[in-house]
Structure formats: structure tokens, C-alpha cells
Structure 1
């Protein structure tokens, strides 16, 4: 029997070709989980999957546009069919686009809603029945759903109205879902990283990417592995322990 905490478990990570997604996939694989790597494009998925396999882990690539409900459902079904179960869902896909209501193209607002809200709902709706089943049949006696946001979603400012709409909504959705699924032994958590290095925000708009990657108040930027460690911590707790929210902030420079 393996001494790895997630041995026998299966995890699905969205936007797995991004820095946070790839780091999270590696973190979960090191804990023994088989990982389904989901992204709209397969450009980086092959490399991430190969890296995990070369280290002795198990990974599959699932290319899907999860803003399409049928493709999102199929991504979950493919994961279950190929890996046999689904114990962990990490909703990592998201984007930041900032502009004022006067100047923002409506297409950008639609894109924010589609990826930050609609896609997450599609994946979650499709995954919940499998997570409930996994909690009932797993030796761990628990399953996990982790949503990834940003602490910036709690702050309001010029040009952030629609982004804040998506992130404030995610916080409320996560807490309500946590209460709904508690009786099913499915833990629901929210991870909110703060200051990040530029590579962590390669799916931001150009202006947002520049601002987000800049050290703030003398603090070092977070690395993708820091966020992945937070996610790994949440899903490897004993079944008696549920971490409902974790904010990951950069420490002061010394």
C-alpha cells in the first residue's frame, strides 16, 4: 500500500497548461493522485503530462473549451472513463480584464463571465455527482472541490466592476456549495493568492499583467508553486478537517 496521501485518487485541474495549473498538477501527482489536465488548447498539456509521467506519476490530457456545457461535461466524463473515478476538482481557469464601463468592449465583459463564472459552473455541475460517489467509496472517505480566485477580487476600484462581479459571486457560490455538500463529505474550499509574479498571470490582459507582476509594498511576488502548495494542503487534510478559505499573501522582503 502506498504511503502517499492521495494514492488511488483522481484529480481534474482546469487551465492545466498555465503556471498555477501545471504546478498544481505536479503537486497532486507527487501526493499520488492521477491527474486529468484540462485546457482549451493542448499546447502545453503534452509537456506537463510528460513531465509528470517522467517522475513516475499518472496524467492524461483533455482538450476542451469548458465554456461550452457539452464540452465541459464531456471533459468530466472523459476523466471518469479513463481514470475510473473523480475525487478532486480544481477550478483554476480564469481571467482578469480591467477597464471602465465607458471604455470596456462588451466582448471583454462577456469573456469574463464566460470563463470566470459559466465555465466553472459547467465543470462543477458535471463533477459533483462523481465527487459524492468518490467520497462514499474512497479509503479517504472524503472528496474535494477547490476554486481558485484572487484576493484582488475583494477590492473594488476603477475598471474592476465586472471582474469584481465574477469574483464576489465566486466567493458566495463557494460558501453556499460548501454548506450544501458538507453532508455528502465533499469539502469545498477557496484559494485566493495575492501578489504574483508575471508568469502567474499570463492569462491577464496586458495592462493587468504588468500591474499584477509588480512588487507591492516591498513584498516578493508569489510563485506558482506557492499557490499549488496551498491547494495541496487543503486536499490532503484528514477527512475531519475542512479548510474553507485560504488567502496566500507574499511575505515582506527582509
Structure 2
């Protein structure tokens, strides 16, 4: 297949949906991976004129997530952009949060990126990109959602390691740190964040940054 393809992991409304539509407008075939059929179907219906495929998977289940991503890779024959979006929001401060809850959240917000990249790797070739929706919570965590800050700091750190591992093969990784709160209007709409992610994926390789801040 000569058409480039993006696989959006943790697809649904919000930034991930905007990323999917934006890349579709750029001519990419689109694969959507999520845990619930209804949001995937609703998102699929908003994407026109390109090949769109959906796959349902529990991203914290390695076998389920791997099957979903490899199935999309087999269908498209390639993955040019792997976008990772999921995180868990749990409103608990560090005295309320249990270790089990923290690990459960990190399994989604960080661990699932490992699964996704490992599953996608056979379909990634030179020029492919791994992009991640980051957050200012990595640097300025809200104590009432303690696990979210850990997830966002962890996933950004993992992106640095992925970049060092994949770059020799011409595959680059980047996290876009959104330095604001998502809103329906203004600088932090999902569409504007998606545009920042697209731009980060098209950085000049000679000056490649693995962490690109988006301040609106």
C-alpha cells in the first residue's frame, strides 16, 4: 500500500479525534484503537475520503493491544505515524492513592506505549514517527490527581528512550507537552493541539527535539 497510514492509540473525542481527522485531511489512511466501540464508530463517521479501520482493545492487556495494532499494520501494510494519546485521570491525592491504583494508571498512561511501539515496530520504516500527547502535568502536577503527573512525566521520559533506540533506523519519537487546559475555544482547542502534534512530527531531523512544548 502506497498511502501513508496513521494509527491512533487511545482514540476517541478530543485531541486524538482531532489528530485522526487532521492526518486524514493530509491524505493518511487512519487506524483507530480504543476500548469502546461507540466512540470509535462516532469518530470514524467524522472522517471522510480515506480508508478508516477501527480496532477494539484493552490497552493495558498486552495481547489484546498487540493484536489490534498488528491487525491494522497488516491491513495497511505500513504505519507511518503511531500516535499515543491515553492517560488515566483519577482524582486522588498521594495520601488517598493506593500503590495498586498508581500502577494501574501507569500501565495505561505509560506501559501501553511500550506495547504499542513494540507491536507497531515491524510496520515502521525510516521516516516513520511516534508521537505522544503530553501535558504540563509532567512538570506541574495537581496534587489531587497525583497519578496523572506520574504518567505524563513517565511517558515523556519513555519517549526519550524510544527516540534513542529508534533514531538509528530513521524513526523518530516526540512528545508534545500541552502547556494549558483543553477548551472549546482559544489556543488550546483539540484541533490546535493536533496541529502542534502534526508540526512536531515534521520537525527538521537535524534539530529534532523529543519534547516539544505547545504554549498556544
Whether the TM-score (by the shorter chain) exceeds 0.5 is: yes
Q: How does 1:1-254 map to 2 (within 5 A)?
A: 8-53=3-48, 56-105=49-98, 108-131=101-124, 134-135=125-126, 142-156=127-141, 158-197=143-182, 220=186, 222-237=188-203, 242-250=208-216
Asked if 1 retains the 8 angstrom alpha-carbon contact of 2:24 and 2:47, the reply is yes
**Counterpart position of 1:211:** none
DSSP-derived class of the 1:85 partner: coil
How many residues end up aligned between the 2 structures?
215
Distance 1:175 1:34 in 2: 27
Scaled by the length of structure 1, the TM-score of the pair is 0.76
Scaled by the length of structure 2, the TM-score of the pair is 0.89
Rg comparison, structure with higher value: 1
Asked if 2 retains the 8 angstrom alpha-carbon contact of 1:13 and 1:92, the reply is yes
Q: CA deviation at 1:102?
A: 2.1
Q: CA deviation at 1:240?
A: 5.4
Distance 2:183 2:103 in 1: 24
Gaps of 5+ in 2: none
**Counterpart position of 1:3:** none
Asked if 2 retains the 8 angstrom alpha-carbon contact of 1:86 and 1:130, the reply is yes
Label 1:197 to 1:165 Cα distance change in 2 as closer, same or farther (>3 A): closer
Moved segments of 4+, more than 4 Å: 237-241
Gaps of 5+ in 1: 1-6, 136-141, 200-218
Q: CA deviation at 1:43?
A: 0.9
